[in-house]
């Protein structure tokens, strides 16, 4: 009889407990599908007495996850602690040093150290599984690394952070302001007490850097991701975008630049058409579009976080290990991953949304038009809205296609104009049709 796959879990929070529940609930079906049973033999967590709603009878307990990885008699360590450094990194390194497989949901660790860890794992013939690190219950790593492996990927576009998607979706549906909806997201448990990791785009950037490596065969390079968050998005921007026929989404985008051959990686809020594949993804869901030369567009959507979806992804990696299925960590051997040739975001060419809060007086629009004209930026559509008792108005502009550096120079000119009452608000318009 085939021996069970022996598992140690570091971290018994929401995902760790969810993984145990899934294994206990569906153990028989899992064993039938991968040819052997999956058995949790050891766990490491801080509070031993906490009721997690799972049976820990017969499971060895460790207070120190690094010690567990170094000593527990297991085949695979599941790291669910989080963070790019500290205990999480030491736990993974200890497991690999003992020639033990690793499964992790830690996108920060992979974004900063994934290539180095993959080299160690592959040299030892081990699996470093991380389906749970990107988009929770969406099997996007397996899809890119295996299902679409015959394609040359042209572009990856995704809603990679459910918190931001919830905030922007709710703002659009209710007309409420950012701060109000953020507070609601925190009350519902969708956002952390300190939400910066989500709303400033860092979480989405970590995931995008990983996807870029798998899709394009490059080294994971988080430092090359251009990152903007959603703090500056107001209910006015949501409203004006709707008037022009767009929706605002925080997207992660990675694509090859045809001129330079480099890869553009960017995370930012942008305007997309309502009929775009990602436009209908609302609430806390994630959604990803992969574009390949033979398959065309392939769309993936599902819950991006939480106990169930993330545990599902963890167990999928464990089942591959149990069945002996192994592929290179990022699709090709880590030693063959190419250094990422980056493309500055100011070389981006496209249409743009610009909102300017100005004093409502003669000559101001002529100044705006002159700054745009002098930098070679053509205006496609203009709205003027919101005159107040103080004679302040919003001038909202949709540009024709232009290079971003031209627009940035025009906006810098305008910032010197006394009629401008606050810094310009600019977002890209992405054609995802």
- The pLDDT of residue 147 is 93
Element (H, E) at 406: helix 404-415
Report the 3 state secondary structure along 289-301: EEEECCCEEEEEE
- The pLDDT of residue 363 is 83
Domains and CATH numbers, the chain: 5-133 (3.40.50.720), 140-303 (3.30.360.10), 346-429 (3.30.70.260)
At residue 168, the 3 state secondary structure works out as helix
> Which residues are identified as catalytic?
207
The single residue listed with the structure tokens 């390194």 is 93
CB distance 315 to 23 below 8 Å: yes
The single residue listed with the structure tokens 């879990």 is 9
Q: What is the pTM of this model?
A: 0.92
List alpha helices for 195-335, DSSP H.
196-199, 202-216, 235-243, 307-323
Residues in the chain with pLDDT < 70?
A: 1, 386-390
Report the 3 state secondary structure along 361-389: CCCHHHHHHHHHHHCCCCEEEEEEECCCC
Helix axes 107-123, 86-97, angle to 10 degrees: 10
Burial 113-152 (b: 16+ CB within 10 A, else e): bbbebbbbbbeeebbbbbbbbbbbbbbbbbbbbeebeebe
């Amino acid at each position: 009889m085939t021996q069970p796959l022996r598992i140690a879990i570091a971290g018994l929070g929401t995902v760790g407990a969810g993984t145990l529940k899934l294994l206990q609930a569906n153990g028989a079906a899992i064993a039938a599908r991968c040819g052997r049973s999956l058995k949790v033999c050891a766990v490491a967590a801080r509070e031993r007495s906490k009721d997690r709603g799972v049976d820990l009878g017969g499971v060895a307990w460790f207070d120190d996850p690094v010690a567990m990885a170094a000593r527990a008699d297991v085949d695979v360590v599941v790291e669910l602690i989080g963070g790019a450094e500290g205990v999480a990194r030491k736990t993974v390194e200890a497991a690999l040093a003992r020639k033990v497989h690793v499964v992790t949901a830690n996108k920060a660790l992979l974004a900063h150290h994934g290539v180095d860890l993959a080299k160690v794992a592959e040299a030892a013939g081990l699996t470093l599984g991380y389906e749970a690190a990107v988009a929770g219950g969406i099997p996007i790593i397996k899809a890119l690394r295996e299902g679409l492996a015959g394609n040359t990927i042209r572009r990856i576009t995704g809603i990679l952070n459910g918190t931001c998607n919830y905030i922007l979706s709710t703002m659009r549906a209710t007309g409420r302001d950012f701060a109000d909806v953020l507070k609601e997201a925190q009350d519902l448990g969708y956002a952390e007490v300190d939400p910066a990791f989500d709303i400033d785009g860092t979480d989405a950037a970590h995931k995008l850097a990983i996807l870029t490596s798998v899709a394009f065969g490059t080294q994971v390079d988080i430092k090359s991701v251009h990152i903007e968050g959603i703090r500056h998005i107001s209910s006015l921007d949501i409203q004006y975008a709707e008037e022009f026929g767009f929706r605002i989404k925080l997207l992660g985008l990675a694509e090859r630049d045809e001129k330079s051959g480099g890869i553009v990686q960017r995370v930012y809020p942008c305007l997309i058409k309502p009929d775009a594949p990602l436009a209908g993804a609302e609430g806390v869901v994630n959604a990803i579009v992969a574009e390949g030369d033979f398959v065309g567009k392939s769309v993936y959507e599902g819950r991006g976080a939480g106990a169930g979806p993330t545990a599902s992804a963890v167990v999928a990696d464990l089942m591959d290990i149990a069945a002996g299925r192994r592929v290179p960590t990022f699709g090709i051997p880590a030693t063959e991953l190419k250094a990422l040739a980056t493309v500055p975001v100011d070389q981006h060419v496209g249409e743009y949304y610009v909102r300017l809060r100005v004093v409502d007086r003669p000559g101001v629009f002529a100044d705006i038009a002159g700054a745009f004209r002098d930098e070679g930026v053509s205006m496609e559509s203009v709205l003027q809205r919101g005159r107040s008792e103080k004679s302040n108005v919003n001038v909202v502009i949709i540009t024709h296609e232009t290079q971003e550096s031209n627009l940035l120079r025009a906006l810098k000119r305008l910032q010197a104009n006394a009629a401008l009452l606050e810094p310009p608000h600019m977002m890209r318009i992405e054609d995802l049709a």
